[in-house]
Chain A
């Protein structure tokens, strides 16, 4: 029985390699081989990076001196645990708390304890696998670089704590999986907001981390003693490091704590498992008694519907509105760094002036080019923020509701463009004005780029919708499929990236004949013309296609 359950659980763990859930069929042999190959490549890369990190730390002073050797192992454990948590937390969430087959399994004549064991085993395996990819290279490197530090007892504890650490990982991912499950079920109407904030928090954290990485690495290798001293206050890392060097007391305590955590987890889960997996997982229903007190126009009703859809799915917001995160940041940065920008321009002008031009002339030239740069930046950011691009696909099978209503399809499609503009315009226009002030554009140019920003927003709204009507995908099983595998979203991004390059290349050839101000007017007129042509297509062929899309 255990064997059958284990086989099922493990096949689930590796299902994505062999089974295409989206298309509900087995992955073709070549594709499966490709997936396996990519996974092996990923594993090799992680092992490679871990090995390189281990070698760098080892020769950087951490294995050459017995005083800091414990820090080498401590850092290995921290990296291994972090990677394993990131790699396995959703395995824990899916297997323990969200398993679609939980109800079915409970209906079988299988004791819940065996179910728990197999599910926990698969979660443990996932964590153990990621942990090994880091810990093993660190161990091997230490055995090669510093054989004198390695004792038989140390090797025994290294192997024992390899297992012990996997229990710590299991404990942590089980708790994090539970937290995710709680967030998913109990946040009610705030779920979208929390997910978006978590994502943005993670994104900002990542950016901060990357910006601090250089300093961190420098400190790490410049002063191992200081690092070891600071790191030593983190007792688990210190104990793990000491145990790996053969300290029996630390090793025994550490292993007992790991085993204790595992026992605690197993005990809690065994008590709560049946109740946990037999709950419907829906949490408290979100309710709203808010009623409209007056009849709304059809247009207002359709736009409200778009609003509700947009704010119901965090992935919809994140996948179509990333540019709106950058817009205010760039706008505010431009205002606060106005002096720095002016300084940089003056600097460039001074350097260029030495090559035969006066600084005033170069400054004037840069001043002329700045509106073009703003235009390109708006083009790029707006390309990352096209709400209309997946909006047709997201109707899915429910498109029949709209199709059967006594309203023209043109009106429905127009409501999608309007919604895009309602969301995009305030961010874009305010940020463009801020950027214009930050770059000290003259009034005329500031007005021009602001008007052009509005044209770009409208163009992308129309362009995204036209693309989605051309390449709709309404037979999805999950909205995220329409969002993440959406050809129109990709095309809009691509246009956002490529068009500034194309426009720059074009301008390079005609710069001698047309001043930037005129060039921008021409580009604006071109986008306006394209928008009009696309809108005509949407109102005729597009509307007809939407009417019978199913």
Chain B
């Protein structure tokens, strides 16, 4: 579903991502972990088509990001680490905006908005301006907007930040549901417990380089993901 091949990106002299390759198959929840500034957000932004990369290729469901970025974006959704939504719109207006862009029919969007907004318990807040939302409510709205057009691939940068335990559990269920229906999830996180329990595969990045990836068993063996991560961080 997502194929990152030899991706490299520098900011001036600083190499943010170095020759990174990751393949995510349909049905997989893929966790992306690393310390602050390791290159996770840069990778996700490049995959979302909002950051130019220097070398390599990115394919979304077989479509090249370089050759057909719009074709790629039609198949996916991206939620940044800090939900940047339009304060001048209400929650409903924002969801309608996204649904209109992706061509979601009125019936489909109504059904999905009701389904997810009631699950996240923000249905009654949707008519209010986004400027009045808390961080958690914005995050929930960003999640609903990503799910509203049923993308094949969903990429999220630290999606659990700001969510209450109930919403976090709901998000995990929604992620699993996407994968059960043949989609894929690629997300970064600092919460290693969540990654360990939720992900089918995981990649650990350090200073822009992929230092370990594979199934959860391949990466952590008999140890906890936290121990493996800290050991790898201490190495080199």
Contact = CB atoms under 8 A, between A and B. Distances in A.
Interface of A: 282, 285-289, 291-298, 300-301, 304-305, 308-309, 312-313, 396-398, 400-401, 403-408, 547-548, 550
A160 to B, nearest CB: 48
B84 A289 contact: no
A400 B48 CA distance: 10
Interface string B98-109: 111111111000
Nearest to B92: A291
Contacts of B78: 404
B194 interface: no
Interface stretch (B13-21, B126-134, B160-168, B183-191): B126-134
Interface of B: 48-52, 69-74, 77-78, 80, 82, 84-90, 92-93, 96-106, 127-129, 132
Contact of B106 (A294, A312, A548): A294
15 contacts: A286-B132, A287-B129, A288-B90, A288-B92, A289-B127, A292-B106, A300-B100, A301-B101, A304-B97, A305-B89, A308-B89, A313-B88, A405-B101, A405-B102, A406-B74
Contact of A312 (B82, B85, B88): B88
Contacts of B74: 406
Nearest to A298: B101
Contacts of B85: 398, 401
Contacts of B90: 286-288
Given A295-B100, A298-B101, A404-B78, A309 B86 contact: yes
Contacts of A547: 49-50, 69
Contacts of A295: 99-100, 103-106
A544 B61 CA distance: 24
A404 B69 CA distance: 9
Contacts of B99: 295
A296 B128 contact: no
B215 to A, nearest CB: 29
B181 to A, nearest CB: 20
Given A294-B106, A406-B74, 10 more contacts: A285-B132, A288-B127, A292-B100, A293-B106, A305-B89, A305-B97, A401-B85, A403-B49, A405-B98, A406-B70
Interface centre among A287, A308, A309, A398 (most CB of B within 10 A): A287
Nearest to B107: A295
Contacts of A301: 97, 100-101
Contacts of B93: 288, 308
Contacts of A293: 106
Given A398-B85, A406-B70, A291 B96 contact: yes
Contacts of A397: 82, 84
Nearest to B74: A406
A406 B102 contact: yes
B30 to A, nearest CB: 19
A193 to B, nearest CB: 14
Contact of B50 (A289, A298, A400): A400
Nearest to A280: B132
A405 B146 CA distance: 11
A289 B93 CA distance: 9
A548 B51 CA distance: 6
B51 A401 contact: no
A21 B220 CA distance: 47
A293 B93 CA distance: 12
Contacts of B105: 295
A308 B100 CA distance: 15
A315 to B, nearest CB: 13
B131 to A, nearest CB: 8
B138 to A, nearest CB: 11
B65 to A, nearest CB: 12
Contacts of B127: 287-289
A153 B43 CA distance: 80
Contacts of A286: 90, 128-129, 132
Contacts of A291: 92, 96
Contacts of B69: 547
B104 to A, nearest CB: 8
A287 B128 contact: yes
Contacts of B51: 548, 550
A428 B73 CA distance: 39
Contact of A285 (B71, B100, B128): B128
A292 B73 contact: no
Contacts of B84: 396-398, 400-401
A285 B82 CA distance: 22
Nearest to B133: A285
A59 to B, nearest CB: 56
Contact of A282 (B70, B103, B132): B132
Contact of B101 (A285, A308, A400, A406): A406
B73 A305 contact: no
A297 to B, nearest CB: 8
A69 to B, nearest CB: 55
B10 to A, nearest CB: 14
B112 to A, nearest CB: 14
Nearest to A313: B88
B73 A404 contact: yes
Contact of B70 (A294, A312, A407): A407
A470 B160 CA distance: 37
A184 to B, nearest CB: 13
Contacts of B73: 404-406
A285 B85 CA distance: 17
B35 to A, nearest CB: 22
B50 A550 contact: yes
A298 B127 CA distance: 22
Contacts of B104: 295
Contacts of A400: 50, 80, 84
Contacts of B82: 397
Given A285-B128, A548-B52, A401 B96 contact: no
Contacts of A294: 106
Nearest to A310: B88
B163 to A, nearest CB: 20
A404 B129 contact: no
A404 B49 contact: yes
Contacts of A408: 70
A309 B88 contact: yes
B60 to A, nearest CB: 11
A399 B206 CA distance: 28
Contacts of B70: 406-408
Nearest to B78: A404
A548 B92 contact: no
Contacts of A292: 96, 100, 106
